[in-house]
Amino acid sequence: MPTTDDMQATDRYPHVMALVREQPWAILPAKLAVITDLLRFRAEGGRLTAEQIADRIGAAAERPNPARAGAVAVIPVYGTIVQRVDLFTEMSGGTSTERLSATFAQAVADPSVGSILLRIDSPGGGVYGVAEVADQIFKARGKKPIVAVADSMAASAAYWIASAADEIVVTPGGEVGSIGVFAAHEDISRHLDAEGVGVTLISAGKYKVEGSPFEPLGEEARAAMQSRVNDYYSLFVRAVAKGRGVSVDDVRGGFGEGRVVGAQQAVKFGMADRVDTYDATVARLARGGARPSGQRADGDAPGLSDDSRRRRARYRR
């Protein structure tokens, strides 16, 4: 017999599925496909253990907590990024921008914290809340050194957040990038037809049911979705350009163009400042080895091209 918790979780799944359908995403497409399939499985009554969920989506079974390494505040940014703590983040072992914002603010305000390290291992997530937390991090430059380490992935929304830090470090086997935004429309009309189910939508407002999953996506609806995606992509690109001290054109045409890139290539392109391990980065920060807040690592980033140095010197803010 289903428990009260089971029934409450089932009731919440339509809202979670609506979240997936309705917002644009800055995430690796394959990862969102896995998460969507998992949500559908749960919505249909399937049950998996926390370990099975973690195995399917490649996330930690338990979300790591913020930690301290001497005067270094280590803030984890793991798993799928969404705006609020809810069933989605609990199930995916992900990070909410709301929680990340609060934790970061505490670290900035704490006089015993000498530097802040964002330890990132994330494929990205939804766009909601990401611009706000990235702007919060960028505005904290100058108060204390802020370093983001991709250990081992900072993709899409996670890279958006990382780009706001003073410095980006990539572990030797790590990857960064996937700068892009997309939205997905799910047309289930043929499935419903095969099941003998007909859906009639009663609405008011010209575009109220535009993009409904119960019918194919029309051209007008597609254009509206594309415009929304373009707006978020522009916001993403401008934030990365500002954070990395380069031009918008450099980001659009030279930062992977939607692909993730490996550690050495990321430094060469100017997407990251150095290749190093997480432990070595913590040790460097503990020694006070972080550069002053707001400066790029032009001089000591191994493999950074002369062209990248010139571009970054020109657009540094």
First-to-last alpha carbon distance for the chain, in angstroms, is 61
The three-point CA angle 169-171-177 to 5° equals: 65
Q: Angle 4-22/29-43 helices, nearest 10 degrees? A: 150
92 is catalytic: no
Separation of alpha carbons 171 and 280, rounded Å: 10
- C-alpha distances out from residue 205 to 2, 174, 208, 210, Å: 39, 48, 5, 10
Write down the catalytic residue from 139, 208, 234, 305.
Answer: 208
293 catalytic per annotation: no
Catalytic residue among 122, 156, 178, 212: 156
Active-site residue set: 156, 208
